[in-house]
Structures are given as structure tokens and as C-alpha cells.
Amino acid sequence: MQRSLKKSLFAAVSAIAAASLTGGAVAFCGFYVAKADTKLFNKASKVAIMRDDDRTVITMANDFQGDLAEFAMVIPVPVVLEEGQIHVTENAILDHLDAYTSPRLVEYFDDDPCVMYERRELMSAMPMAGAIEEDGGIRKKDSLGVTIEAQYTVGEYDILILSAEESDGLSTWLKQNGYKLPDGAEATLASYIKQDTKFFVAKVNLEEQAQTNLKYLRPLQIAFESPKFMLPIRLGTLNADGKQELFVFTLTRKGRVETTNYRTVKLPSNMTVPVYVKNEFGDFYKTMFEQQVEKENERAVFLEYAWDMSWCDPCAADPLSSDELRELGVYWTGGGDQSGIMPRRPAPQAQDVFVTRLHVSYDAAHFPEDLMFKETGDRSNFQGRYVLQHPYKGDAQCDAAESYRAELPKRFETEAQTLANLTGWDIDDIRNKMNDAGQSFEEPKNDSWWKRLWGNDDKEG
């Protein structure tokens, strides 16, 4: 009977192993409990960039707060944009992309150590498996050397495309037309003018905005072709009150995106932290990120996520749909008419979209240059992932359970040290919070084996 039972168990475990080898099991086998999205940070801007060869679509969202009549956006662009190259989209799509790529906290629970011991014994007997442009009448040049190349109303925005001969003239023109520029803008504008850059200028059309019944500004999108894969950030540093947080989401075909003129650094990931962090994940992540920024002398861009869009493990949100991806400029996925964009061919599925999430905390002193990017062929997966590992609290009675409990204080101390190193928090405060959360550093008492016989442990006292 024992031989028959062992044979049945062996067959069952073999079937489970086979399923895992064919992709039938989830790799991490835990569950997601919290995410570190952009809402954790003040002054946070989100930009999504679709890039394929020279084709580029930039989707820009910002956290502007105040009188909408005061809002203005001046963005250097490589070409004069036609009206059809400008679009207004919904916040929900960028929010979805943010949620999908956010660093996350995952939670696991230790199994009964006695059951784990029996499972290891059984698995050790198994054989190893195999490895598995509209310009008619619009161009207008004034005495300041500023030319209105194009003007449109798109959604709730009035938009001008400007060119200029010199920065003082452009600065004066903008101020005369109601745009507020920070001190020192002329020098930055001059560097763009030397490169024959145009300027995308947007203000809110209050009448159009009122018809939307929205209390916020929707993201603006621009589509163009340029050999330069870059994001201009210098104008945004001129009137900044301290550091700004920028989240860049890139959507490409080949693989991960990184910056070429600043170091791209992977955040510490797959670290096990004390279980009490579940209730303090926002504080933990912000503090940890600030520590990493300081460690890199405030001059690095951080990789928070890189993954094929078709799946995630664990998922902080579902992958974006083909329609959402197309709205962000991913024209090679299904949905919509692709004529005129590229030769017709069967549209690949969403897994041919590789998403990279970069996070930079920047100011003019440490980021004097615009962000320059390159698309790599690296499709290896990466995510900011932090682990809670709950100890087993059942009444396990075996030698393996005694060994397991004896090792827990060492494991807890490792978690405490990890958290202290990541955040700079006081180690004694961490240990006290861990004790309060049931992660005790005391060594368990080793009762004599015979105390578990005949109920002797119940007879004491």
C-alpha cells in the first residue's frame, strides 16, 4: 500500500513538474499587494514615447495645479507639425501604463516546514527534467524675428508652432503675447535655435475647456519623424522649485531603452523586507529611491520596469489593450486603418511591444542636458519588486520544523539589515517594529524530544 501511495505521489509530482516546464505555472507564485505609482511623488510628470526607427509619438501629461488661464507649455520640436500630428488623449491611458509598470510589493507565506521536508524528500527521488504642414497665409514674421509657422486649436488647447532667429526676440515675443518665462530662459532657447529647432507652444482655450466639463488638463500628443531619440527637459528646469520627478514610458519593438548621456541604473530589486513594510510601502519606496539618487550623485536615470507588454508576473494591472497601445502611437498592433503608415501586413499582437519605465529626479544643476535615448536589443525582463515573506505560524512538529524556527531570527535580521541599507532608517527602530509585527529575534527554546511524548508538555506546571 505504501509502495502504491508513493508511486501515485510520484506520478502526481511528475505531472506538476511537467506543467511548470511547459509554462503552466506562474513563476513567482505569490500575489501583488501594493504598487509605487507616480502619485507617490510631488511635481511628477509622465511622458510616454513610442519609437520605431525615426517615427516618434510623444504623449505628455503634467501635474499642473492652478488657474488654467495661467497654463502655458513651450516644447522644442524638430519640425513644423501639421494639425493632424497633434492630438489630445485621456489621462486614463497613461494612468493604466503607470499602474502596469509600477514597482510593486508582493507577498508570500512559508509552507508547513514538515510538509516541505516531505516534498523535498520526494523530489530528490525524481529524475532531473530537461532545461527548459498647413502654412497658407499663416507664416508671419515680425520685427522680433519670430515666425508663426502654424496655428491650431486641438481639443482644449490653442497651439502655435514657432520658429525664431534669436532667443532674445523669441523671449520678448512670448512675454508680449502673455507667456510667462522664467529668468535665464534666453540662454536655453538660444541653444535650441542654433539647432534650427521649432517651438510647440500650447495654451488653454478656456471656452473649449469649459465644454469638456473636466477639472483637469488632458495629455497632449505629437507625432513626427526625427533621427534624434530624445526628450527636451532643460526648459522645464528653469522655473522649477527644487527637484522634479519625471517618469518616461517607452514603447518599442526591439527591446529596452536607456539614456546615452546619463547613466541608466537598475533599482535594487527582488529584496525581502520586513512584513510591517506592507503598511508603509509608500514611505519605504520614496525613501529608498531618494537613497539611490544620492548614491549616484543625483545624476542617474533609474530603470524601474522593462517587460514585454503581453504579460507580467506579478501583475500590478492588466497589460494595455491593442486599442490603448495604438492611442499611444503603437501603429503596428491590431485595430484601425494602417494604410499610409506602413505597407499592409498581418498585425503582430501586443507582445511585440516592449515597455521600459525610467524614473529621474532632476534639476538644472545635475541634468544640464536633454535626455538622449537609445533602443537596445535587450529584451530581458526587469521590475522593481520587493518581497514580504511571512513565516509559518502553524503547530508543526518535526525535526525540520525545529530547524526552520531556529533559522528565523537570522532571516529576520537579514531583512532588517536589508531595509536599513535601502532606506537609511535606524536599525533598532526597524527591529522594534518587526517584533511588534510578530517577527521575533529571540532564539526558540529547544525542548527535549521526550517532552512531546505522552502529553508531557501539557503536564508541566
The string of pLDDT tens digits covering residues 323-369 is: 999 999 999 876 544 444 444 444 434 458 999 999 999 998 999 99
% of the chain with per-residue pLDDT over 70: 79
In this prediction, residue 395 has a pLDDT band, given cuts at 50, 70 and 90, of confident
Do the domain assignments include residue 230?
Answer: yes
Do the domain assignments include residue 280?
Answer: yes
Q: Residue 252 corresponds to which amino acid?
A: T
Average pLDDT, stretch 104-115? Answer: 89
Do the domain assignments include residue 41?
Answer: yes
Residue 320 phi/psi, 5° resolution?
-70, 145
Considering the chain, what is the average pLDDT of its residues? 82
Least confident of 76-80, 142-146, 192-196, 318-322: 142-146
Q: What single-letter DSSP state applies at residue 110?
A: P
pLDDT in tens, 282-298: 999 999 999 999 999 99
Do the domain assignments include residue 305?
Answer: yes
Q: Which residue has the higher pLDDT, 130 or 19?
A: 130
Residue 181 phi/psi, 5° resolution?
-115, 140
Cell reading at 99: 499602474
Count of domains observed in the chain: 1
Do the domain assignments include residue 100?
Answer: yes
What pLDDT, on the 0 to 100 scale, is given for residue 185? 83
Whether residue 255 contacts residue 375, with contact meaning beta carbons closer than 8 Å, is answered with yes
CA distance 284 to 321: 31
In this prediction, residue 399 has a pLDDT band, given cuts at 50, 70 and 90, of confident
- Domain carrying residue 372: 31-106+136-387
Do the domain assignments include residue 189?
Answer: yes
Q: Where are the alpha helices (DSSP H) in 61-147?
A: 91-101, 113-124
Q: What single-letter DSSP state applies at residue 54?
A: T
Q: Is the pLDDT of residue 236 over 90?
A: no
Smallest CA-to-CA distance from 98 within 63, 68, 123 is with 63
pLDDT in tens, 46-77: 999 999 999 999 999 877 777 888 888 889 99
The model carries a pTM of 0.82
Do the domain assignments include residue 155?
Answer: yes
